[in-house]
Every structure is written in structure tokens, then in C-alpha cells.
Chains A and B, each alone.
Chain A
Amino acid sequence: MPGRVRSDPLKNPERPYLAIGLEGSANKFGAGVIKHFVDGTTAVLSNIRHTYITPPGEGFQPRHTALHHREWALQIIQECLVKAGVSMHDLDCICYTKGPGMGAPLQSVALVARTLSLLYNKPLVGVNHCVGHIEMGREVTGAQNPVVLYVSGGNTQVIAYSRQCYRIFGEALDIAVGNCLDRFARVINLSNDPAPGYNIEQEAKKGKRLLPIPYVTKGMDVSFSGILTAVEALTTDKRFRPDGQPKNANDEDIITPADLCFSLQETVFAMLVEITERAMAHIGSKEVLIVGGVGANERLQEMMGVMAEERGGKVFAMDERFCIDNGIMIAQAGLLSFRMGFETPISKSTCTQRFRTDQVHVSWRA
């Protein structure tokens, strides 16, 4: 960034701060306790999650997902406090996901947060889910000012920080990349346990054949719906063998589910790395941070690493504990804004399905 370097408006706290974060915007319910120390360091005291897993071939419906969160919330929060060795009374604030996400699950978690806030007389902090991912990513990896690739079941965004805002440079024009992968996993009946994307990744490791699939980038934007249609269509190709096995010794020209997972990953990840590289070139950054559930994919991390190396830069990535939706990231982003004086009054503690990353005032950064 050109110009003089300004110091962050957020100063080291005069005493340690504690916050709990509650997340439930999709099919995971997560709770985590974070601590900010006076020397500016941070500790994850606990980070617990429970995932609503549907049978193979089925996605998660908002109503059932909300039920899941309601059923598990108290138990997970309890475990989370015990693990952290703190009580509700010790907390400075309660952070919850305000959006974006699925309406019913968001509301069920907000209700829990509101109730706890009233019971223990603790301030509420509504958090943008995407900003949660970014802030936790920065905290865990130590990346200073990276271009962020945020890839999950609901979001595909290339983001860079500028003037107290996480600006979106590129995004998916239709469905999110994780949605594309998950839906394809359902087409070929892969298990949703632990996650459809994880099982695609494992299956792709066995794939050998790269099939031609559309490659759709427009500037810094990408599109996945045509790709999903194309790869689905290949499952009705007469060369497709659902069991991955040749019919007989002469059955050589075949397409296996593994080949399709492989081709799909190679294509969509190449697109994502390409738009990330373009954003890096555009703003002159050499760091890239991958966040969101799809960010746990090691092939994506590997490809991003090759790109970053070619540019003399570095990729920052995380494992599933922090990549996949979790409570601690909500606690982290919430506590940052709480320390800047931000609170969400009960009367405004609503949720919103649509909440863009660039709508958040990032008051804690210079």
C-alpha cells in the first residue's frame, strides 16, 4: 500500500478481555471462547463444534438445521465454557453471527445469544460471518495484509482490505464453489460425513483423467453453475461407470466418479487461484489467505502455494478447526469491534440472510 503506514486504532487492552462466540449460519453449530491479553496476544481457550449431517444425496434444509442447532446449543456452550475454564460471569461480551447465512438457523442461534445476554447481563455483539473468517485467519496465520480468498458452501469472494473496509474484488456470479462441490457430491452419492467436500477431495486423489469442463472467469468474477451442469451431464455419458470399475478387460475408455471429482477440483480451483492472482496483481500484494470451509482442501492450498511462489509471495492457510465455520472466529471478530466500543443493543439484535462483507465498518484497522 502506498503512502505512510498508520498504526491500528486498536490499542493493547488495559486488562485481559474474554468473549464467547456463537455461530450457526449453516449446518454447523459452534461455540468458542477467546481471550485478548494486555500485551496484544490472543489465546483460543476453547473451540467446539457440532455438525448436522444429512444422509448421502441429501442437502440440509433450513428448518431441520435450525432444530439441530436448538438441540445442541446448550450442551456445546456448556462444554465450551468448561473447556475454557471460565464461567458466563467472566465474559466481557457475547458475540453471535448476524449474517449472512440461512435464516432459520441464524435466528435460532441469535435467540440463544439474546437469552444469555439477558440472563447474565452481558452486552451482545452481532458479527458478520465473513469478517469472522477473515479476522480469525489473520490471527491464526499472522498474515498482515493479505488478499483473502473466502470459499465456502455459501460464499466465494476475493477480498482485500482498504480504508476500514473489506472490499470484494471478485466473487461467484451464481452459486458458491462449495455449493457446486457439495451438490456434485450428492449427484454421485458421496457421504456427507464429515463433509461432502472432504469426500470429493479424497475421491479426487484417485482420479486420473482430466475431462474438459467449462472454465468460466470474467475479470475477477467466476461462475460455477454451468460447470455443475456440465459435470453432472458427464454422469450420463455412456463411458461413465458409477462403480469406477471397467465392465471387462477391453473396457478402457471409461470415466469414473474419481475422474469427475478430480476434473471438477482441478478446474474450479484453477479458476479461484487465477482470480486471486489477478487481485494480488491489482493491489500489489504478495500475501494470500484462504478462509472458509473449502479452504481446508489441501489441493487448493497446494495450487495457491505454487501461484504465490511464482510471484515471490506466500500463502496462509489453516486446517479444518479454523477454516470450517466455528464459534471462535465470531468471538475474535466480535471482541475486536467490542474493544472499539461497538455493541448490538437487544432491540437491534436481529439476523440478516444478506450481509455483505463490504458493509462492515472495520473500525479496529488503520
Chain B
Amino acid sequence: MQSYQLPHLPPHLSSVHAALFKDVSDAAQLRQRLITASTAEGPDGTRARDALNFAFIEARLITSLQHLRTAIHQAVMADALGSLRTRTVHSEIIWSLNPTNNISEAMRRYGVSDTSTSLVVVRIDSPELSVTDIERDMDAAVNGTKVPFADLRDITDWTAVKKYHKLGNEVAIQQTKGDVDRERGVVDEIATSSVAMKMVMG
């Protein structure tokens, strides 16, 4: 898990923790638990929600750590400015990643799905929370292998990213003339910039 601070933001949004899991075996159950927890009442419900207080992101649609961090930053900014489009800062990260304004489409594509096998898990909170506790909760929530973010390069599904960003016929892609590394660089830049400018996408 990696942690970093955003000192220019209010304290309750200033601490970021993120980890990449591969070989996730229980995505369907995880999704079910999220649905149940979201409607459960009483102290049990609160406990269930606390245990799953993360953003669970479809890792194969993340093109780079910079892509992820840009989405996190836009979500945290929206929360700080009181302009969240979704219910929580965690769901806002998922919304930021999707190129359209459709919330349910964003959750379906960029959130955890029954078929997810790799997940990025993110927690935004105050620096007062212990990193050890957060990591423990994270490990308890996901059944998979935690790997460094560098492993994203084997996980990203470039065809899916290109499809969601409608990049099939774009000049920028054609210009790379089949040079895979170069094409991935271009796709990553477009995906990252799209996330960063979503506020004014119009």
C-alpha cells in the first residue's frame, strides 16, 4: 500500500492510501457486501460500511499511477469545494475516471464488478487514522494478492481503455503506427487529461 498527503486540502481529505490487488477471487461477493452494507441499518450497518469504506476500482482500466492520482485529486477537490456529483469522495473517484457524466455507467465500468480480478483500493481520510489500521481493513476487505503499482503494466486492458475513451479512429493513435509503447503513452496521456478536465468537459 502506498500513502501520501495532500497538505493543501482540509484535514479529513488530506491523507490518501492506495493499493493494487491482483488475483482477486471474491469480486462478486465483495460487490454483494457493498450493496448490503449500503442499505443495512443500525450499528451493524455502520460497522459493515466502515469495514468497506474504500473506493474499489477496476484496475484494468487504470493506465498509470498518474492516471489514478489525477482522479483522486479531482474527487478530493470536488469534495472540498462542496461540489461532489456522487455520494462520497470514494464514489467520486470512480465517477471521475469515466469519460461521460453518467453515474451508473461509471460505477458499472470503473467500480468493482463480478468479473473483476484486479482492483485498486483507495481510502481518503484524515491523517489521524493509523496507516496500520487502514491496511488491515483493506486486506480484510479484499481477497487477493497485494502487488506494487508497477505491476499495473501487466494489468491494464488497453483495448478496453481505448474503447471507453472512443480512441479507435483518433489521429493521435494512428500516428503511433503500431508502436505499442508509444500508443500506450498516448492513451495514458489522453485518459489522464480527460480525468483532470472532467469538471469543464461541457
The answer to whether A and B touch directly, with their CB atoms under 8 angstroms apart, is no
Interface residues of B (CB under 8 A from A): none
